[in-house]
Structure 1
Amino acid sequence: MAVRRAGLGKGLDSLIPSNSSIKTKSSNETRSEQNTENVRTVEKVVEKIVEKPADVYLNINQIEPNRKQPRKNFDEDALVELADSIKQFGIIQPLVVQKKNKYYEIIAGERRWRAAKLAGLKKVPVVIKEFSDQEIVEISLIENIQRENLNPIEEAIAFKRLIEEFSLKQDEVAERVSKSRAAVTNSIRLLKLTDKVQQMVVDDMISTGHARALIGIEDPKLQYSIAMRVVDEKLSVRDTEKMVKDILNPRIQKKKDKDPALEAIYHHLEERIKGILGTKAEIKSAGKQKGRIEIEYYSQDELERIMELLESIN
């Protein structure tokens, strides 16, 4: 474990000034305005680290990404947009690189490097600096976190690395990245999910709200099974929370309340209704000879489709 220094050392202290802040999303701020603010913050940070950037241009093929950087997934559409911008205006903020044996390693600016390759640039502006291993990790983590380019799982891994590699507390991490302590805590908790469910978060199959609800399910197979049910049935976060609660705290019912044979019949009928209507249906008994059938729909168009099917039944 790395020895803890006052604050975070020169790298991260330079990256995150004590009086810096990142605007949080609100209903009256557009995504582009927030991204612009975050980019400006990072650019000021990088300028402070590299002091006065020199106009040095390197062949783009001499540069390679940092294999330990937290972000593994890049939005292809966003890269194309950035490439178009680079074609028009060039690269405004130089890449920060470090000399290796036969190449230069990117410390900050991999997204710009990828977009520059798409744009067909042969050379890119760089600032060549020497950094310690600790400073490299700090810069790559904080640049990505503040630019909000990380998916929820990558961000969680980044927070965990800051805590484990630099002996930070969660509130210290929260202060450095301009997030609440609760946000950092909830983010790290996502790493308790099984790998398959984490990948579902990365792929936007389920939201972080769904994911947090599933954390309470410790059995990996059951957790993944419920996650797939969330997707298949298009369950809301509230529905998922209720389902998990029912699994963790099953209600104690008297034997007479449920007839296994009747439950099997209900299940069979529910599947038949689902096959006819193409949507989930549930039969709820309210005693002998009575009950109700609940049919789910997920849009106005689907409701109208179901109504047409019902009206066509003679």
Structure 2
Amino acid sequence: MVVEKRGLGRGLSALLGEAAPPPPPPPGSVTEIPIHHIHRFEAQPRARFTPEEMEALTESIRANGVLQPILVRAHPFNADHFELIAGERRWQAAQRAGLHAIPALIRQMTDVEQLEAAIAENVQRESLTPMEEAYGYHSLVERYGRTQAEVAQAMGKSRPHVANAIRLLSLPPEVQGMVSESELSAGHARALLGAPDPLAAAQLVVQRGLSVRETEALVKRLQSDAETGSAPRSSTRATRKDADIQALEADLSAALGLKVEIVDRDGQGEVRVRYAALEQLDEICRRLSRR
């Protein structure tokens, strides 16, 4: 008779009643995963979360828990650990709320499929800034060899949309920062691509509060000035606003008790009065209609 030998460690485990570690959950299932077993995907496209939205989500999770599972895949190197695909905001807020585990849907994905899913999820939610979207598309093309047409198909976007997004990466870093901070829209940024000096033009756009169409007109003037070698008219006007117009803006703001902005374009323009409540609008109307 052959007697099965048992190791001392297993014998002690049996005596002490220690349970064997549970098997890893199968792909495609939703399960509770310890938060510290989840790691951020290094190529995650979304990098910015406003304090306001994080605080609101944290309070909601404290009150109601995580209602929608995050999306993860098995970590390529650490056993029993996972890599985040989508739902980073929920994951971060759950940590702030003091949760120890979070519901997660487990999927099997390659690196490129993971990045595509992360970008697509944020694009569908309109959660990415134009620059985050541009970097995500660029990574798929440069890092994983996807064509712009393949990226467009995977994202449900047109090829020109993807191409125009990637072109934003050719803007100076300072202008990209203005886009990331929502000082400039994607439309502004695309218009600035044709400017001889995109940074100087962007500063004028922000200073004057120009619309996208006004920005396009400004860029055309700058291009014309650059071709003829004449001094840019926009620079002269910007300097004048720094001295005369800004002083007038300050006087009007003090008189009305509201933010007043003057947009001057070669002797023509607008006076903009900003109000934060209907009562302030009523007061503006009362003053303007007073005889």
TM-score, normalised by the number of residues in structure 2: 0.67
Shift of 1:232: 1.2
Deviation at 1:131, TM superposition (A): 4.1
Q: 1:84 to 1:271 in 2, by over 3 A?
A: closer
**Structure 1 pair 250/119, CA: closer, same or farther in 2 (3 Å)?**
same
- CA distance 1:53–1:223, change in 2 (3 Å): same
Q: Is the 8 A contact 2:116 2:154 kept in 1?
A: no
Alpha-carbon spacing, 1:146–1:294, altered in 2? closer, same or farther (3 Å): closer
Alignment of 1:101 with 2:78, yes or no, is yes
Which secondary structure does the structure 2 equivalent of 1:299 belong to? strand
Q: Alignment partner of 2:225: what SS?
A: coil
51, 59, 82: which one aligns with 1:76? 51
The CA deviation at 1:184 is 1.8
Q: Note the residue ranges of structure 1 that are not aligned, 5 or more in a row.
A: 1-49, 259-263, 285-292, 309-314
Summarize the Cα distance change of 1:247–1:66 in structure 2 as closer, same or farther, 3 Å threshold.
same
Of the two structures, which has the highest relative contact order with CA contacts closer than 8 Å and spacing of 6 or more? 1
CA gap 1:297/1:245 in 2 versus in 1, 3 angstroms: same
TM-score by length of 1: 0.62
- Pick from 120, 133, 156 the counterpart of residue 178 of structure 1: 156
Equivalent position of 1:159 in the other structure:
137
**Could you say what secondary structure the match of 1:114 adopts?**
helix
Shift of 1:154: 0.7
1:274 aligned onto 2:245: yes
Deviation per CA, 1:223-244: give whole Å up to 9, x if none.
Answer: 2121111111112222211111
Q: Which moved more, 1:230-239 or 1:83-92?
A: 83-92
Residue in structure 2 matched with residue 297 of structure 1 by the alignment: 271
Following the alignment from structure 1 to structure 2, what is the Cα–Cα distance between the partners of residues 209 and 158? 18
Call closer, same or farther: CA 1:94–1:226 in 2, change over 3 Å: closer
Note if contact 2:69-2:105 (Cα within 8 Å) is conserved in structure 1. Answer: no
How many residue pairs get matched?
A: 236
The corresponding residue for 1:145 is 123
Q: Does 1:250 align with 2:225?
A: yes
1:173 to partner: Cα distance: 2.1
Aligned partners of 1:153 and 1:191 also within 8 Å: yes
Correspondent of 1:204 among 175, 178, 182:
182
Distance in structure 2 (CA, Å) of the matches to 1:115 and 1:185: 34
Residue ranges of structure 2 left out of the alignment (5+ in a row) = 1-25, 250-260, 276-282
Q: Which amino acid aligns with 1:53?
A: S
Which structure 2 residues correspond to residues 22-101 of structure 1 after superposition, within 5 A?
A: 52-55=28-31, 57-86=32-61, 87-99=63-75, 100-101=77-78
Q: Secondary structure at the match of 1:138?
A: helix
Q: Deviations over 1:200-257 (max 9, x none)?
A: 0000111111111110125xxx32121111111112222211111111123999x9xx
